[in-house]
Amino acid sequence: MQDSAQFGDCVQKLLNDFKLYDKAVDIVSCWQFLFTEVEQYSKNVLLFDRFPRLSSPSTPKDQPKTPDFAVLLSDEYGIVADIKSGFPLDDKGFLSHAGRLLKYDLPLSFKTGVDSRSVIPSDHDILLVIPMRDAQEIVRRIEKFRAAGDLRIDRNLIAFEWVWDSDQNEYVFRKVAGQTCDFRDASLPANIRLSSIFTERGASLKVSPDKIKSIKAAWQFCNDTPPPIYTLVFLWTKVFYHLLDAGQRQLWRRRDPRKVLWIEVSTERLVEEIVRRYPIRWGHWTDWARAALDVLVSAGLARKIAEDKYTVGYRNLVRELGEPTHGATGTEVTSHPREYARILATYICRATGGELTQEAPATDERSQGELFRR
């Protein structure tokens, strides 16, 4: 019999993965807001690429680089950014983690947003976005390793720390103090030079959720591989219904949508439907979709009938697990047993006996700080 503590831990871990990813989506959206909605930038920026796949002319045979976002501010200057939740405590792990940034330390081909034209800007810098809690220490260690020659990055690596300001209800980003690197953005108009704003002036970027809601609703994901549960919530609430045929839809109008309707779908057909409806991360959905469908199979909510072919038992899962109903007022409620992330996590953990087999998100076991988890 499954241990209840193990089961609880399993559900909690999946929900934490879900929240962690959602926080990354928020953070990318804040930067997207700056570069695409703030007039001074939107008039100048050539393209904010939310799902970049940047090739390098130096290593044409290598896989494209996939930073968390890339922004081409002019033909001469761009930024690639990675959002990190933390760094390992031990030096070896730290260097290995920091070393992952080296893949951006090459000339990179940025999309321009005009047809399929790309440009290799003469300069680009690497932006590292980290939680404030450990930011100072991480920057000092990076500086130390660079000075010692253990970490060689030719391009400038600029670290920004972020924090949620609960008094003002906004995300705050600022350049971590004590860095020797700065943005090499002299080619930009003076009023939008990041070096002037965030280094000389020492200003911080403040973005409230109100400003990013449309961006978040439009783009849904960020360039990091989502945990399958995040993709599954998206598929269950926004995509699967549209794979039902007219007769099935009519049936649900007359009957309870908790009645199972079977959807036979291939990964290819699912990807086609996703990108037809939501043109995000065009051309690179197959892995995400397959991972989500495989988890659905392991959760007992779908069957794999052939390679890349599945039958999904689609229905409204609410109350299927005998969840308690909510009280009349919020004060009686401590969690949301009837919401889909939790319902799907419960199915997954019940079926796997509380032992997760899917890959953990990109946090290291011994990471410096718990990051997004609050």
Partner 1 sequence: MPKQLHLRGYEFIDRWRDTLRLAARECTKRKRVKIYFVSFLSETPAHVALAESEHAIDIDKKDDYWVAHLSAKKAGKTARVDFGIFRSGVNAWTLFTLTESIWRENVLLHLVRSLSPDFSLPYLSSADIRQLLQHLEEDDAVEIVVNKAVAYSYRREGQISFKKEPFQDVFNRAEHENMFVDKVDFSVHGQSSLHGFVARNGTAKFISGDIELFLNKILNAVLNTSARKHEVFQRAARRAGEIEVFPVNIDFGQSVFHGRDDNLTFLSSLDHMTRSGLAVMHENPYIHVSLIDFFDGSAFDIFATSPNSVTIIPQVDASAFSLNRLCNHIFENFREGAINKPQPKTWQLADVLT
Is there binding between residue 236 and partner 1 (CB under 8 A)? yes
**What residues does 163 pair with on adjacent strands?**
172
Q: Which of residues 94 and 160 has its CB atom nearest to partner 1 in the complex? A: 160
Is there binding between residue 132 and partner 1 (CB under 8 A)? no
Stretch in the footprint of partner 1 (CB under 8 A) among 2-10, 36-44, 133-141, 150-158: 36-44
Query: What one-character DSSP code corresponds to residue 54?
Result: B
The residue assigned the tokens 């086609």 is 272
In whole angstroms, the minimum distance from the beta carbon of 282 to partner 1 comes to 10
Q: Which of residues 7 and 252 has its CB atom nearest to partner 1 in the complex? A: 252
Stretch in the footprint of partner 1 (CB under 8 A) among 31-39, 67-75, 146-154, 363-371: 31-39
Cα first-last separation, the chain = 32
Binding to partner 1 in span 145-204, by CB under 8 A: 164, 166, 169, 191-192, 197, 203-204
Q: Which of residues 21 and 94 has its CB atom nearest to partner 1 in the complex? A: 21
Q: Which of residues 211 and 350 has its CB atom nearest to partner 1 in the complex? A: 211
The CA dihedral of 266, 267, 271, 277, to the nearest 10 degrees, is 40
Please return the burial class of 68, using the count of CB atoms within 10 Å of its CB with bins 0-12, 13-18 and 19+.
buried
Q: Which of 104, 100, 98 is nearest to 56 (CA)?
A: 104
Q: Which of 68, 84, 69, 356 is nearest to 229 (CA)?
A: 356
Name which position in 114, 177, 333, 360 contacts partner 1 (CB under 8 A). Answer: 333
Spatial distance between the Cα atoms of 355 and 310, rounded to a whole number of angstroms: 23
Binding to partner 1 in span 244-263, by CB under 8 A: 244, 249, 252-253, 256-257
In whole angstroms, the minimum distance from the beta carbon of 148 to partner 1 comes to 36
In whole angstroms, the minimum distance from the beta carbon of 53 to partner 1 comes to 18
- Name the residue type at position 59: T
Stretch in the footprint of partner 1 (CB under 8 A) among 59-67, 106-114, 146-154, 213-221: 213-221
> Within its chain, how far is the Cα of 220 from the centroid?
9
Query: How many CB atoms neighbour CB 218 within 10 A?
Result: 13
CB proximity list for 14: less than 8 A, separation 6 or greater: 227, 229, 341, 344, 345, 348, 349, 356
Is there binding between residue 340 and partner 1 (CB under 8 A)? yes
Name which position in 4, 63, 331, 357 contacts partner 1 (CB under 8 A). Answer: 331
Q: What mask of x and - would describe binding to partner 1 in positions 271 to 290, judged by CB under 8 A?
A: -----xxxxx----------
Spatial distance between the Cα atoms of 52 and 19, rounded to a whole number of angstroms: 23
In whole angstroms, the minimum distance from the beta carbon of 36 to partner 1 comes to 10
Is there binding between residue 307 and partner 1 (CB under 8 A)? no
DSSP string, 206-263: EE-HHHHHHHHHHH---SSPPPHHHHHHHIIIIIGGGGS-HHHHHHHHHS-TTS-EEE
In whole angstroms, the minimum distance from the beta carbon of 192 to partner 1 comes to 8
Q: Which of residues 184 and 281 has its CB atom nearest to partner 1 in the complex? A: 281
Is there binding between residue 336 and partner 1 (CB under 8 A)? yes
Stretch in the footprint of partner 1 (CB under 8 A) among 115-123, 181-189, 217-225, 303-311: 217-225
In whole angstroms, the minimum distance from the beta carbon of 35 to partner 1 comes to 11
DSSP string, 62-106: SPPB--SEEEE-SSSEEEEEEE-S--BSSHHHHHHHHHGGGGGSS
Angle between helices 4-37 and 209-219 (to 10 degrees): 100
In whole angstroms, the minimum distance from the beta carbon of 259 to partner 1 comes to 10
In whole angstroms, the minimum distance from the beta carbon of 125 to partner 1 comes to 20
Q: Which residues bind to partner 1, rule: CB under 8 A?
A: 19, 22, 26, 33-34, 37-41, 164, 166, 169, 191-192, 197, 203-211, 213-214, 216-219, 233-234, 236-238, 241-242, 244, 249, 252-253, 256-257, 276-280, 316-318, 326-331, 333, 336, 338-341
